[in-house]
Amino acid sequence: MSEAAPGDRIRLTTHDGARFEGVLMPRHSFSGADILTLKLDNGYNVGLAAGGAKVEVVETAKPVERRLPQPPTDPRKPTIAILGTGGTIASFVDYRTGGVTPATRPEELAAAAPDLFGFCNIRAEVLLNMFSEDMQPEHWTKIAERAAWHLNNGAKGVVIPHGTDTLSYTAAALAFALQDLSGPVVLVGSQRSSDRPSSDASQNLLAAARVAATSDCGEVVVVMHASSSDDACAIHRATRVRKMHTSRRDAFQSVNVPPLGHVRGDQVVWDQPHRAATKGKTRCDAVWDEEVSMILSYPGLWPDHVEDVVRKATVLVGTGLGHVAHRVLPGVQKVIARGAHVVMASQCINGAVNMNVYSTGRDLLQMGVLPAFDMLPEVAYIKLMWILGHTSDRDEVRRLFLTPLAGEMDAPTDLRAFGVLEAKA
Amino acid sequence: MSTAPLTGPDALRWFNEPKLDWAAIGFRCGLEIHQQLDTRKLFSLVPSRVVEPDEVGPLTIGAVERRLRATGGESGEVDDAARAEAAKGLRFRYLAIAGLTSLVELDEEPPLAMSQDALDVTLTLAGLAKARPVEEVHVMRKTVIDGSNTGGFQRTALVATGGAFEVEGGDVGVWTIAVEEDSARKLDEQSKDGVVTYTLDRLGIPLIEVATAPDIRDPAHAQRTAARIGALLRATGRVKRGLGTIRQDLNVSVAVGERVEIKGCQDLRAVARVIEAECRRQLWMHHVRTTLVARGADGVAGPSTDVTAAFAHTQAKSIQAAPKGTVVLGVKLPKFAGLLKGASKDAPRLGRELADHAKTAAGVKGILHSDELPAYGITDAEVTAVRKALACGQDDAFALCVEVPATARRALAAVAARAKQAVGPALKEVRAAQPDDSTRFTRPMPGAARMYPETDVPPIRVTGERWRHVLQSLPAKPEEKMAQLVARHKVSQDIAKQLVGDGLDHAFTGLVSAGADASLAARMLLQLLPALKHPDRVEPRLPEVAAAVKAGRFAKEAVEAILVVLDAEPVLSLDAATAKAGAGSSDAAAVDAVCARVVAGRLSFVREKGLAAQGPLMGPVMAELRGKADGSLIAERLRAAIEKAMA
């Protein structure tokens, strides 16, 4: 057909004689196989049939040079590490194709959020570049080790830009793996890609960096938009936060507890007690046993499903206060007899499990099922993986599971966390 | 098209000429027409409707406040227009309007698939204009960060190119036919504490954008072209009607000017006047330019200087009453004396350009300049003191800004930048049409860097089959429709023209098939509806009204009163509205009873006049029966009653 390559300026005469001139674009993955995409001088892209078309190259592609200023370093300012893991936050957009590439150098980050350098120095590092749905426990280990290294080597805090799909899983994993933190480890994401003037990326990244650079916090936290407006970011405890909306800016919400604090402009405000940073070394203990599963309970769940799925441990994501159908009980009993650990969390997400109220719950307790109390199901799952990575002693597993390790359970219920209670005089 | 350049004196001569020679001044003009479509929103499932101002309060179900950042263009560069907007540092408050706002409009959810209805209407217009559709429609994001789009961009897609509109005085070529999202509606023109409020009802309503080639020969031709395009759009039967549903942008230049895009010309009748005024402005600016160059001016303004001391004892209210912290800053504009004012009071002038740049850059109310002083309470002595403070010579002008220092400096920097441009080439800019037909600077012309692909919407194939279907089902053109109305419904040429011109022919045939006779249908659409406060709300009830007239539930004389009731209380059922309007059917017996009573009461008169009494007696009979029975039935029964009395 033609030797024109993407980026070349071409003149195209269609089979029916219409003439177009513009820059040949890379093929859109949903474009027809017989379509050439042209960017016209008025800025529009159009798809034109290649069949029978005459293509003439007017000018071959010129590489686009991107000159970015070097961000300054100032010894008086705190230094934070930014560990890229992928996702739309901290990424560059190729405005030609609309494609997104991660920022790999400090100057690229600076271009995305220039105000970062006003209050801190930045060590930028691209640790991973992946969709967050592909993130596995081995990646949690890599992130945890690198975060600890930076904290132990001069970084005041660590910011981890992350895809939002599994951001809260990584956050919870880091919360169990990192101990005696000498500074904050802040996970941050964005729900609107950074090419958009309306993106939440720069506000979220700035707020995360604020927490990392200026706070005394020694915890793993998540910093994201507090509402649909661009006024504040909320600081969430890593083991208490969950993505509760597919697309909104304020998708991340603390469950059963209020957020730890807020970032408004350059002010970091703590509303709740949080663990303070230690003076010593951050310890990293990121060992996981992956023979753990989660099973959602639902009407129609096959009686033998539990037996089929469970290896060393499982989180039953039960209904209501923590129940499964009676016909599933024998399966549960069998896996426990086999030596597996079974814990019960609730698919209600809000509230705690309490298995003393109904007989099914009492039956489950008698079999040896452990209640996850007010833990989020996926946090219970990660906690089990971490515990089993360290011990297989049955009693020790049970003891550790029922002990709060990283703020993941046993908080007094926050009345404001699930809608407002109607005030009565 | 190239034209010999005009000299400065030529430009001035043409400026003063009462009748312009369009070819001689190198007139070039194309149109961009934006028309709202009557489909769902382009990328979300909510309907397309703009609420009335009094509905905004009750229908607002939430608000968010956002900021927009200038982002890089294709090669990382930031567009001039985008940078200018971002520099304002504004915040935007968006009101979610119940039923007309989804998460897509709030920029909280990716766009859904494009409305295929909207694409079909766009293809239909392409067919009527003999344009050629692209094989694949690619949706683009056009960066717009004045807050009018929550995402900071407008989604737009080119659907067809080529073709022409047949217009009296010469065909006008089609450059592009695109379908795009309408913007959010600004609630107040002015920002309050740096916050601009928009409502989200209009955001996302599909618009067809038609851009013509610069084939337009003179302003009257432009007006006819706009009218023709409007008529073809209405011929599709799927466009919105009413004020604000169609907007025409005018691209205008003369040989010594540059392409200026004029927005906000909502009134078709103003098109020709606005174009002529803009041509004269471009001629005048060329005269200013050549005069400055002849004087040896380099356009470089002096430093901005605090001249507050010159007004220590001023009587000028604008300075005296200014809040604490206000200063008077001034800049010298070397060799600009006499060139800031216009040839007459409302004529184009550089001073207004400087002021408009100051306003858009710094949000100030305006500036003062030496060509208009002494005035506004500022005395000759104060002017002399300012001149001295700024070291102004005879030929030099100055500009002042009364504001807090930071704002005043920003305003005067904009004034200095615009003054510098006055000696350089003519400016490509976006201007807004004013009620007096003049135009005012809005922003620099945005570059092509503003567009990049909308990656959330896959390209849409326009198959050969779809295009053939569009071509086979093209609606009749306006002239064909008029002929049909006259032939089929026996309406006059005038009525047919009005119905087709206003895009009401579909509604008309709909009412006729619902049971209205042609004259009632035309009266409802052309007279009764436009007189109402909320014609859009009442229009959907008309077929029901027509059917009720046909069923004899009330007479056609009652229609007006019933529509007025429905206008005020749109939730009423037709029966309730009928009752409230005091209308309702009276059967022949009831009519007979009234006629008999009236005749009996004036028996001697009836006996004296005979059948000639019918005319005078219609009055009192109608007073009782108006709207309750058909006029011709009443006349017939009254005649029978008189005949009976005489027998």
Same domain, B519 and B595: no
Query: d(Cα A10, Cα A28) in Å, to the nearest integer?
Result: 18
Identify the residue whose tokens are 């509606």: B185
Is B574 within 8 Å of B545 (Cβ atoms)?
A: yes
Q: Identify the weakest region by mean pLDDT among B303-307, B508-512, B592-596.
A: B592-596
Out of A243, A282, A289, A383, pick the active-site residue.
A243
Q: What is the mean pLDDT of residues B265-275?
A: 89
Contact B76 A40 (CB under 8 A): no
Residue B409: predicted pLDDT: 94
Q: Could you give the C-alpha distances from B308 to B302, B354, B458, in angstroms and in order?
A: 17, 21, 60
Q: Roughly what angle, to the nearest 10 degrees, separates helices B271-295 and B8-16?
A: 140
Report which of B156, B143, B155, B154 is spatially closest to residue B86, judged by C-alpha positions.
B143
Is B30 within 8 Å of B251 (Cβ atoms)?
A: yes
Q: Total structural domains in chain B?
A: 4
Same domain, B229 and B309: no
Interface residue of B122, B180, B455 to substitute, partner A, most A CBs within 10 Å: B455
Residue B509 falls within a domain, yes or no? Answer: yes
Q: Which CATH code fits A9-59? A: 2.30.30.520
Tokens of A107: 């100057």
Q: Following DSSP, what letter does each residue of A287-349 receive, concatenated?
A: -----EEEEE--TT--TTHHHHH-SSEEEEEEBTTTB--GGGHHHHHHHHHTT-EEEEEETT-
Reported as a single tens digit per residue, the pLDDT across A7-23 is 899 999 999 999 999 99
Report which of B273, B222, B175, B240 is spatially closest to residue B504, judged by C-alpha positions.
B240
Residue B22 falls within a domain, yes or no? Answer: no
Residue B225: predicted pLDDT: 96
Residue B105 falls within a domain, yes or no? Answer: yes
Nearest Cβ partner of B64 from A16, A199, A228?
A228
Query: d(Cα B147, Cα B154) in Å, to the nearest integer?
Result: 11
Contact A195 B71 (CB under 8 A): yes
Half-sphere exposure of B578 (CA within 13 A, CB side): 22
Last residue of one domain, picked from the residues B422, B439, B461 = B422
Tokens of B443: 């922003």
Same domain, B38 and B154: yes
Residues of the domain holding B543: 476-551
Contact B71 A96 (CB under 8 A): no
Q: What is the mean pLDDT of residues B137-153?
A: 92
Q: Could you give the C-alpha distances from B216 to A209, B231, B430, in angstroms and in order?
A: 57, 18, 19
- Is residue A281 less than 8 Å (CB to CB) from chain B? no
Active site residue A34: no
Which residue did the predictor score with more confidence, A28 or A207? A207
Same domain, B37 and B166: yes
Reported as a single tens digit per residue, the pLDDT across A84-110 is 887 777 666 666 666 666 666 666 766
Last residue of one domain, picked from the residues B253, B281, B314 = B253
Phi, psi of B174 (to 5 degrees): -100, 130
pLDDT over 70, % of chain A: 90
Measured between beta carbons, which residues in chain A are less than 8 angstroms from residue B64? 227-229
Would you say the CATH fold of A79-284 matches that of A9-59? no
| Angle at CA of residue B451, ends B447 and B455, nearest 5° | 170
Measured between beta carbons, which residues in chain B are less than 8 angstroms from residue A197? 68-71, 82, 143, 145, 151-153
Active site residue A62: no
Same domain, B81 and B128: yes
Same domain, B545 and B594: no
Q: Tally DSSP H helices, then E strands, for chain B.
A: 23, 22
- Is residue A164 less than 8 Å (CB to CB) from chain B? no
β-bridge pairing A9-13 and A19-24:
antiparallel
Q: What is the mean pLDDT of residues A129-138?
A: 90
3-state class (DSSP) for residue B98: coil
Active site residue A104: no
Same domain, B537 and B634: no
Domain residue extents for chain A: 9-59, 79-284, 292-401
Instruction: Please give the torsion angle defined by the CA atoms of residues A293, A297, A299 and A302, in that order, rounded to the nearest 10 degrees.
Output: 30
Report which of B283, B156, B288 is spatially closest to residue B211, judged by C-alpha positions.
B156
Specify whether domain A79-284 bears CATH 3.40.50.720.
Answer: no
Is A210 within 8 Å of A185 (Cβ atoms)?
A: no
Out of A79, A85, A141, A164, pick the active-site residue.
A164
Report which of A139, A157, A138, A137 is spatially closest to residue A147, judged by C-alpha positions.
A157
Contact B75 A95 (CB under 8 A): yes
Query: d(Cα A406, Cα A172) in Å, to the nearest integer?
Result: 9
Residue B581 falls within a domain, yes or no? Answer: no
Q: Could you give the C-alpha distances from B21 to B66, B274, B283, B286, in angstroms and in order?
A: 50, 16, 13, 17
Is A324 within 8 Å of A364 (Cβ atoms)?
A: yes
Last residue of one domain, picked from the residues B422, B446, B465 = B422
Nearest Cβ partner of A198 from B109, B137, B152?
B152
Q: Identify the weakest region by mean pLDDT among A384-388, B71-75, B137-141.
A: B71-75
Q: Identify the weakest region by mean pLDDT among B96-100, B128-132, B335-339, B641-645.
A: B641-645
Contact B453 A48 (CB under 8 A): no
Half-sphere exposure of A274 (CA within 13 A, CB side): 31
Query: d(Cα B348, Cα B284) in Å, to the nearest integer?
Result: 7
Residue B83: predicted pLDDT: 60
Query: d(Cα B105, Cα B270) in Å, to the nearest integer?
Result: 33
Residue B524 falls within a domain, yes or no? Answer: yes
Residue B47 falls within a domain, yes or no? Answer: yes
Reported as a single tens digit per residue, the pLDDT across A259-318 is 999 999 999 999 999 999 999 999 999 999 999 999 999 999 999 999 999 999 999 999
Active site residue A165: yes
Q: Identify the weakest region by mean pLDDT among B118-122, B394-398, B446-450.
A: B446-450
Same domain, B593 and B542: no
Tokens of B44: 């979300």
Residues 95-154 of chain A whose Cβ lies under 8 A from any Cβ of chain B:
95-99, 111
Identify the residue whose tokens are 């020969």: B217
Contact A227 B64 (CB under 8 A): yes
Tokens of A227: 């509402």
Report which of A18, A22, A45, A42 is spatially closest to residue B162, judged by C-alpha positions.
A18
Q: A292-401 sits in which CATH class?
A: alpha beta
> In which band, very low, low, confident or very high, does the pLDDT at B2 lie, cut at 50, 70 and 90?
very low
Contact B75 A228 (CB under 8 A): no
Residue B35: predicted pLDDT: 97
Q: Roughly what angle, to the nearest 10 degrees, separates helices B588-601 and B614-625?
A: 130
Residue B561 falls within a domain, yes or no? Answer: no
Largest CA distance in chain B: 107
Residue A64: predicted pLDDT: 66
Half-sphere exposure of B364 (CA within 13 A, CB side): 31
Reported as a single tens digit per residue, the pLDDT across B3-61 is 456 777 888 888 999 999 999 999 999 999 999 999 999 999 999 999 988 899 999 99
B74 has pLDDT over 70 = no
Q: Between A and B, how many residue pairs show a Cβ–Cβ distance under 8 A? A: 147
- Is residue A197 less than 8 Å (CB to CB) from chain B? yes
β-bridge pairing A341-346 and A370-371:
parallel
Nearest Cβ partner of A95 from B68, B70, B73?
B73
CB atoms within 10 A of CB A96: 19
Residue B471 falls within a domain, yes or no? Answer: no
Same domain, B97 and B218: yes
Same domain, B237 and B315: no
- In single-letter form, the type of residue at position B426 comes to A
Query: d(Cα B90, Cα B87) in Å, to the nearest integer?
Result: 8
Region label for A90, one of left (φ > 0), alpha (ψ between -120 and 50) or beta (otherwise):
left
